[in-house]
Amino acid sequence: MSPKPSFHTRHRAAAAVLSAGLLMALTACGGDDGTEKAAAEDKSSTPASGAPKAANLTVLAASSLTDVFKTAGAAYEKAHPGTKLTFSFAGSQELAAQVKQGAPADALVTADTRTMDGLKAETGTPAVIAKNRLVIAATKGNPHKIGALKDLADTKLKVVLAAPEVPVGRYSKQILDAQKVLVKPVSQEPNVRAVLAKVEMGEADAGLVYKTDAAKSKDKVEAVEIPDEHNAVASYPAASLKGSKNAEAAAAFVAWLSTPEAQKILQDAGFQQP
């Protein structure tokens, strides 16, 4: 029969077991702290899933979006710190020419689908973000008592229209032709804002503009409604540009234009739902 271990032998064995246990516990704790710290640091340095990197974006947009996009842009920048939006407003046909010439830009919003469709090689997949309709903009107080499209045929009136290659000019021709109203404009302008300006300054008695433009200038012009059955619907498609150096951020802004926040801003300005 083996002799029993001495007291000292048993004491040394117990101490060794205790020391080993403490060492394992300390090592485990140290490992957890290091892992949690590393994970926290990694999380803090990684952007949230799906969040685009901050960027300076140039957006080419139809003239009729001038006022509402200033509001929308401020809201977007507030919600996306570090992102800066620069808008360039012009007639859609001018914007299309800029894109085809390779002008540096990140996104495009036109006032018609035809112009956007002609740029399929240069854009991502477009999405309609808003719609609009036309009204007759008459000088303040409507002194000539213009009440319908047919009144624009009066040769005593100075009527100004957008050029036929401009979306609003094309819409104007469409509705005038449908009603067999012959108008001889005193000038044909490169965008809707130029048409509105002529009426505001009294250089024209009336012009055809978008409803949203006339509403923004209600203290200077009188808006004469055109019945829906005699009107045209303008659709506004938005798309990112393939030549953008900020593709992810550009796509994110275009997608945001269809969100409830952006849609409220557009509709508060008088635009219709897509």
210-269 tens-digit pLDDT: 999 999 999 999 999 999 999 999 999 999 999 999 999 999 999 999 999 999 999 999
- The model's pTM is 0.80
Question: How many CA within 13 A on the CB side of residue 256?
Answer: 22
In the chain, list all ranges with CATH 3.40.190.10. 56-131+235-268, 133-230
* CATH of span 56-131+235-268: 3.40.190.10
Cβ atoms of 125 and 250 closer than 8 Å: no
pLDDT of residue 54: 78
What is the CATH T-level fold of the domain 133-230, as seen in this structure? Answer: D-Maltodextrin-Binding Protein; domain 2 (3.40.190)
Residue 237 CB partners (closer than 8 Å, separation 6+): 109, 110, 113, 116, 126, 127, 128, 129
For the chain, where are the alpha helices, taking DSSP H only? 7-45, 66-79, 92-100, 113-117, 167-178, 192-200, 211-216, 247-256, 260-268
Cβ atoms of 163 and 229 closer than 8 Å: no
- Residue 72's region, left for phi above 0, alpha for psi from -120 to 50, else beta, is alpha
- Three-state DSSP at 62 gives strand
